Structure 1
Amino acid sequence: MKLIFTILIAFSMGLNPAFAQKNVLKGKVLNEASQPIAGVTMILEGTVRGVQSDPSGHYVMRDIPEGKYVLKVNMLGYKEVNLPFSIGERENLALNINLQEALLSLDPFEFSVSRGIMGQERLPEVDKFRINAGKKNEVIRVGELNANLAMNNSRQIFSRTPGISIWENDGSGIQLGVATRGLNPNRSWEFNVRMNGYDITPDPMGYPEAYYTPPMEVVEQIEIVRGASSIQYGSQFGGLMNFVMRKPDKSTRFTFETLNTVGSNGLFSSFNYLGGTEGKWSYTAYYQKRVGNGWRENSYFNTDHAHVEVNYAANNRLMIGLEMTYMGTESQQPGGLTDEQFNKDSRSSTRERNWFSTPWFIPALTAEYILSDKTKLSWKTFGTFAERNSVGFMQPINQEDDLGNRQVDRDFYTTYGSELRMITEYSLFGKSNTLAAGIRYFNGFIDRKQVGGGDNGTQMNFDLADGGIYRRDFDFTNINQAAFAENVFRFSDKWLLTTGLRYERISSNMEGLFNTVNDQEQILLPQSRTRNFFLVGIGSEYKINPSMEFYSNFSQAYRPVLISDLTPPATTDSIDDNLQDSRGFNFDFGYRGAVQNWMKFDVGYFYLNYADRIGTIATMDNNGIINQFRTNLGNSVSQGFEGYVEFDPISALSKTSKFGYLHLFASLAFVDARYGDFATTSVREGVILEGNLKGNRVENAPRKINRYGATYRYDRFSVTWQLSDIGDAFSDASNTVLPNAAATVGLIPAYQVQDLSASTDIRRRYIFRAGINNLTNSVYFTRRAGGYPGPGIMPGDGRTFYFTFGLKL
């Protein structure tokens, strides 16, 4: 990799003599007490060039073409500064900057303390190439949390985000399963999942979704926009979840960081990062190795993550970049448990031959171009080349492994896509308004091979045994074209309105081998579907004062009939020829803001309508044969309240403290997710019994999702305690309470889990972190799996410990 970088730089210097220019702008950023300020952002207005001040307050910007510029200087808590200057060819210009504190700001020490432990913020009204005004959104600043980041502990990471339900059945941290507002957490598939703004999933509309999760040690922030994101990103009911990776360090030519973690059950994780900026070039790269035995028997994981990003300012208006991300995984799956096994020993396992692997490669090319002071363009093109592999004994968990040949299932994903966005500001009736628009193309191809005859061994092996075949072999293709436009109309300094429209075209095709019985192949007739539809959205904000506002948003959502919906699980099953896509909408109304420097809050009501849900009923044909018929059965509605508040009682009473600071937070959600008129049938002793799900709770939707926490910080030391208090849930739409023998249906009991984490750094160079997850060793589970990685109850991890040592250079 180093050789590749060297060749690229040398080649560019040879083609572009301007690269060797010695124009340099440098200086130092100081406060009113002539003390240096680190992390100040400085941008040449109207260009893509920018740097940050280093810990000593110095900054350097190299290779600036001669001309006249305005240096825009920003730092939270200080007044913005705009400095005009001119620079000539080969000039070395020194420009020192003095910043003044903004009104109601904190002193530098207190401000850094407060910002360091408030790990939850929200997106600005307009940010880069998107509009966030009027939408319920959260920004999780991962680096500011006390959490077990080496294991991607989602319970801690999403603690301050109200209403997030989590499937805690993957202690390895490889796969993330989260949802909101009564939706299904399975692989986070109700979210539009992105990284740095582009897709990282093999299907544009749902299945399969997020098999890849980046290491949280390199994630700068997680951006969550609830269902109202459908206009700008996609039609998913859950909204957007975007992982923003750490960007190249703009304050230095080279920085290096290593974080090494050891913990319970043989955990070892080594995360290594480097990055910097040199003239027009900036770069970043990381590598993480994580291995462990897992908390349960027959658990093991071995993962590798790597990422490289290189950006080049071709000129003052154009920035181009290349990103490449790789993940390799090897994971032993302990399988599920029956209720009896779980109550006896939740760490036990009856599956020792089940393995799972998801090698993932994501390349992306990006470009940003400034057309004018008011208009910018962004282009991203991306791809996914990945696999989903499993091998094991997959019969119900109450059946003993016969030690025979295992089942092999493999998916091969090949996708590519491109998205072009534009954002512009314009004046109307004396007010500044913003328009964002974009177009998108996505092509996803899935080669699915299932029910293969594997070996009878115990190790990870996805090869077919001699004479083994795949009884199913499908090809799926999903093509998605979309265009959107959304506008912010500002009627006054207090009130704004957003309106948006999105057009979607989705084309799906499926063909291949459905089953092989007695050497007879059953071929599915090719199935193709194309649909065109529009989504509309409208939102508003009204500011009570500069720090508090009301907001509301209505946005349509859409979930197309997926390829899996068109695939009958058995040859006797049938699919409704008129099977319709699911439609619905999200509605939000809330109040959010801050009280000076000691409290933040966001409280609101939501309503989610999910119409034309797809389900299966039993039918009888003219010959008296009972078949399963998949069709649209009815609607469901999720509604409730979400609230988040965090405050510092010490700062509320006194501006400064010699004894440290205390922050308390509560993240609360009440979710009432229920089915409407939803007809069902069942078969008992050859007789079809009709029923209705009306009034039943939606499966996997706890009514109560509450999390509380407290963080104490003194100087560079901080410690955080957290309590998760989650209500019970049902695992099926029939709301079955008593579990079946295979433990795939039944009540999921309420539970409480506590976590404790601490961190400190010495001279901003030596980093120490430690913690205990599941402090009281609670025995609980969040999921009953019908298939992989079960079947059966999937227990949450018990008490575990971790310790991290890090070094920054």
Structure 2
Amino acid sequence: ANYQINENARWNTKLFSTNGDRNSVGFLQSINIKDSINPASLNYNNRVVNLDQYRNYGMESRIITDYHLGKMKNTLSAGIRLYTGTTTRQADGKGTTGTGYDVTITGNYPRDIIFKSRNTAAFAENIFRVSDKFLIIPGIRYEWLEGSSSGRNGYTTGGTEIILQNITRDRSFVLAGVGTEYHVTRSTEVYANFSQAYRPIQFANLQAPPTTDVVDADLKDAKGYNIDLGYRGKAKDFLQFDISGFYLQYDNRVGTITVSGTPSYRLITNVGSSTSKGFEGYVEFNPFRAFGKNKDADLIIFGSYGYTDAKYSGNHKDASTKGKKVENAPTNLFRGGITGGYKGFLLTVQMSNVGETFSDANNTVTPSANGNNGLIPSYTVTDLTATYKFSKGLNLKAGANNLFNERYFTRRAGGYPGPGALPADGRTFFISVGAKF
């Protein structure tokens, strides 16, 4: 809802909710255990059934007002956010031995837990226009969080229920940040930002879905800050660009380490502090618009590149992590392509190259037998899309993703939808028709 209070002030309120369910059934053992016919029963082994129910509701309301300090107009935005959410999780149910979708179980769910969370926030942000070219934008946010859990978390080997106490945990904190912009020309600007960050651990994080991972029961909230500096803009209608550098400090970072043992296992824990620094760049250039005035043809060359040096600055008590690369953070990331058009026809070819990365903070290279740990190799994927516009309101689009059928994966998981390496899609084709009335 939007309401114009007066010529200088306006009010905006958003209501939002999630009312959903996620049901899954599958054979969730390690990949080195075959999903095969049991010779005793001549059926497949029982599958695992998990049911999640999400009921979340919230509201965010803010007032935006313009005012003057001297000759310059400034803008203040302030508001509140309210949220409440309930997740009901029934897990590890003994499912059927079939092959289709069937969430029927035998007995009850060993784990039957209710998670509740509440959040209240108040925030304010102000745009100070120091001059026609220079802006300073400070902001502050107060957060209050509460999480609770109750229910049954399984059974002991003797069959006794493991009951979660009705535990409630709350905390509050203040986050601040400031951004600046200096407009070098009418269409280009230098910008710099500093912001604090806080990642709370909820009880749902401590009660993970069925998995071969182990979750540290003493997980702590993570926090940090980010700094970035860049230059962005455009030149008429033929060039757009954005180049920036960044520095990210992350304390109590939640990650994954491989703990030695028989067998070894992956531990989700506060690995420690990490530092990430690097730069990003994006450019889009249209030579036809820059050097010619052909109204029927068009050509756009675009590309983006990101370099990230993300490493841990200390050791974890269960692993040597100092100087190791942060997991799932590739050093190099490039995407680029060409779009060519003639009259109503448009053809785009895009290539993406993602560098190698690791699945754990130990930087394990050789994959484990179950595929949960190890290097995630680099890969290159090419996509092709063609569009034909019959009119302003009607178009036909077709294309191929992963045109050269690259075999790759982007993640190793210890739980759903794993465990193991999660393969990406092979070559796929699509066609669609779009219409506007």
The two structures share one fold, judged by TM-score above 0.5: yes
Which residue matches 2:182? 542
Which residue matches 2:123? 484
Counterpart residue identity of residue 648, structure 1:
N
C-alpha distance 617-674 of structure 1, shift in aligned 2 (>3 A): closer
Q: Distance in 2 between matches of 1:661 and 1:806?
A: 22
Cα distance per residue 1:24-47 (max 9 Å; x no partner): xxxxxxxxxxxxxxxxxxxxxxxx
C-alpha distance 529-618 of structure 1, shift in aligned 2 (>3 A): farther
Structure 2 gaps of 5+ residues are 37-43, 260-264
3-state SS, counterpart of residue 447 of structure 1: strand
Q: Is 2:276 aligned against 1:642?
A: no
Which residue matches 1:718? 346
Q: Distance in 1 between matches of 2:435 and 2:126?
A: 45
Equivalences for residues 442-481 of structure 1 within 5 A: 442-465=83-106, 468-481=107-120
Q: Is 2:217 aligned against 1:575?
A: yes
3-state SS, counterpart of residue 651 of structure 1: helix
Instruction: Give yes or no for contact 1:617–1:680 (8 Å, CA) kept in 2.
Output: no
Per-residue deviation, 1:573: 8.5
Q: Distance in 1 between matches of 2:256 and 2:372?
A: 17
- Identify the match of residue 400 of structure 2 among 748, 772, 794: 772
Q: Distance in 1 between matches of 2:342 and 2:317?
A: 59
Q: Distance in 2 between matches of 1:605 and 1:574?
A: 34
Which 4+ runs in 1 deviate beyond 6 A? 615-619, 627-631
Instruction: Give yes or no for contact 2:255–2:327 (8 Å, CA) kept in 1.
Output: no
3-state SS, counterpart of residue 680 of structure 1: coil
Q: Distance in 2 between matches of 1:596 and 1:724?
A: 28
Q: Is 2:27 aligned against 1:390?
A: no
Per-residue deviation, 1:801: 2.0
C-alpha distance 741-432 of structure 1, shift in aligned 2 (>3 A): same
3-state SS, counterpart of residue 525 of structure 1: strand
Cα distance per residue 1:234-269 (max 9 Å; x no partner): xxxxxxxxxxxxxxxxxxxxxxxxxxxxxxxxxxxx
- Identify the match of residue 612 of structure 1 among 252, 262, 280: 252
Q: Distance in 1 between matches of 2:287 and 2:346?
A: 16
Equivalences for residues 396-475 of structure 1 within 5 A: 396-402=30-36, 403-465=44-106, 468-475=107-114
Q: Distance in 2 between matches of 1:774 and 1:610?
A: 34
> Which protein, 1 or 2, shows the higher relative CO under an 8 Å CA cutoff with sep ≥ 6?
1
Cα distance per residue 1:453-486 (max 9 Å; x no partner): 1111111111223xx2111111111100000000
Instruction: Give yes or no for contact 2:206–2:216 (8 Å, CA) kept in 1.
Output: no
3-state SS, counterpart of residue 679 of structure 1: coil
Per-residue deviation, 1:726: 1.0
Cα distance per residue 1:679-701 (max 9 Å; x no partner): 232xxxxxxxxx42011111111
Larger % of strand: which? 2
Per-residue deviation, 1:511: 1.5
3-state SS, counterpart of residue 718 of structure 1: strand
Q: Is 2:130 aligned against 1:502?
A: no
Instruction: Give yes or no for contact 2:255–2:361 (8 Å, CA) kept in 1.
Output: no
Structure 1 gaps of 5+ residues are 1-366, 620-626, 682-690
Q: Is 2:149 aligned against 1:515?
A: no
Q: Distance in 1 between matches of 2:427 and 2:268?
A: 43
Instruction: Give yes or no for contact 2:347–2:387 (8 Å, CA) kept in 1.
Output: yes
Equivalences for residues 523-602 of structure 1 within 5 A: 523-567=163-207, 575-576=217-218, 580-602=220-242
Instruction: Give yes or no for contact 2:256–2:360 (8 Å, CA) kept in 1.
Output: no
Cα distance per residue 1:498-519 (max 9 Å; x no partner): 0111000000111211111343
- Identify the match of residue 389 of structure 2 among 730, 748, 761: 761
Q: How many residues were matched structurally?
A: 421
Instruction: Give yes or no for contact 1:716–1:761 (8 Å, CA) kept in 2.
Output: yes
Per-residue deviation, 1:630: 8.0
C-alpha distance 629-644 of structure 1, shift in aligned 2 (>3 A): closer
Cα distance per residue 1:432-466 (max 9 Å; x no partner): 0000111011001111111111111111111223x
Which residue matches 1:676? 313
Per-residue deviation, 1:548: 0.7
Q: Distance in 2 between matches of 1:615 and 1:709?
A: 34
Q: Distance in 1 between matches of 2:389 and 2:127?
A: 43
Instruction: Give yes or no for contact 2:271–2:361 (8 Å, CA) kept in 1.
Output: no
Per-residue deviation, 1:632: 4.3
C-alpha distance 398-390 of structure 1, shift in aligned 2 (>3 A): same
Larger % of helix: which? 1
3-state SS, counterpart of residue 382 of structure 2: strand
C-alpha distance 720-617 of structure 1, shift in aligned 2 (>3 A): closer
Equivalences for residues 321-336 of structure 1 within 5 A: none
C-alpha distance 535-562 of structure 1, shift in aligned 2 (>3 A): same
Instruction: Give yes or no for contact 1:574–1:628 (8 Å, CA) kept in 2.
Output: no
- Identify the match of residue 666 of structure 1 among 303, 311, 330: 303
Instruction: Give yes or no for contact 1:646–1:664 (8 Å, CA) kept in 2.
Output: yes
Which residue matches 2:262? none
Per-residue deviation, 1:575: 3.2
3-state SS, counterpart of residue 668 of structure 1: strand
Per-residue deviation, 1:398: 1.2
Q: Distance in 2 between matches of 1:540 and 1:770?
A: 43
Q: Distance in 1 between matches of 2:187 and 2:436?
A: 36
- Identify the match of residue 798 of structure 1 among 397, 407, 426: 426
Q: Distance in 2 between matches of 1:668 and 1:699?
A: 19
Q: Distance in 2 between matches of 1:628 and 1:769?
A: 44
3-state SS, counterpart of residue 322 of structure 2: coil
Instruction: Give yes or no for contact 1:635–1:678 (8 Å, CA) kept in 2.
Output: no
Cα distance per residue 1:66-102 (max 9 Å; x no partner): xxxxxxxxxxxxxxxxxxxxxxxxxxxxxxxxxxxxx
C-alpha distance 470-808 of structure 1, shift in aligned 2 (>3 A): same
